[in-house]
Amino acid sequence: MKRKERYLVRPDEVIVTRQGETALIQYKEAGVPATHLTLGPKIATLTDAQIVELYNDSLRAQAALAAGYKHVAVEVPLGSPQMRYFKPGDQWVPRGSVLRCEIHDDEDGQLVVRIDEHELSLAAFGRLLVGHAGWGMRIEFVPDDRLHHRPALEVREPDPE
């Protein structure tokens, strides 16, 4: 489920709670994540309205950074591992932002995704993907002998079957 995004607020739209040198900003609207805003010792002299304005300033700064961000998808070169094992999470994680995969099924008809020499169950592949929750994903299906080449791309309705 896609969670709601944080947005600029007025003081009456949030609850501000001080926790030491940090302000906890909680939206009154259900489903919007709370934020811990570290302000340091000056928090003792700030009103809730001033804290909310500093919070809004941080959202504006994030938006400005995002506006200037140009995403470059990094594909690991052939012969280099595309994944690494992340022991603390007991899961595989991608090393780049492109994965060349082969799909097949096992003897029970369950999905198996092969990346390099590793075969991942649907659950293991899902754990790999959940590390990118909040991102988008494109899937290009290609013949297995063309796995290492980008296909030509046409934007159109598929041919009728």
pLDDT mean over 2-6? 82
pLDDT of residue 131: 87
Classify residue 145 by burial, with Cβ atoms within 10 Å: 0-12, 13-18, 19+.
exposed
Q: Indicate the residue type of 22.
A: T
According to the model, what pLDDT value does residue 38 have?
A: 96
Q: What's the angle, vertex CA 137, arms to CA 101 and CA 92, rounded to 5?
A: 50
Gap between the Cα atoms of 20 and 71, Å rounded: 37
Q: What is the pLDDT of residue 151?
A: 84
Over residues 142-160, the pLDDT tens digits come to: 888 888 888 888 888 888 8
Mean pLDDT of 51-70: 94
pLDDT of 1 reads 59
SS3 55: helix
Mean pLDDT of the chain: 92
3-state SS class at 120: strand
Q: 3-class SS at 23? A: strand
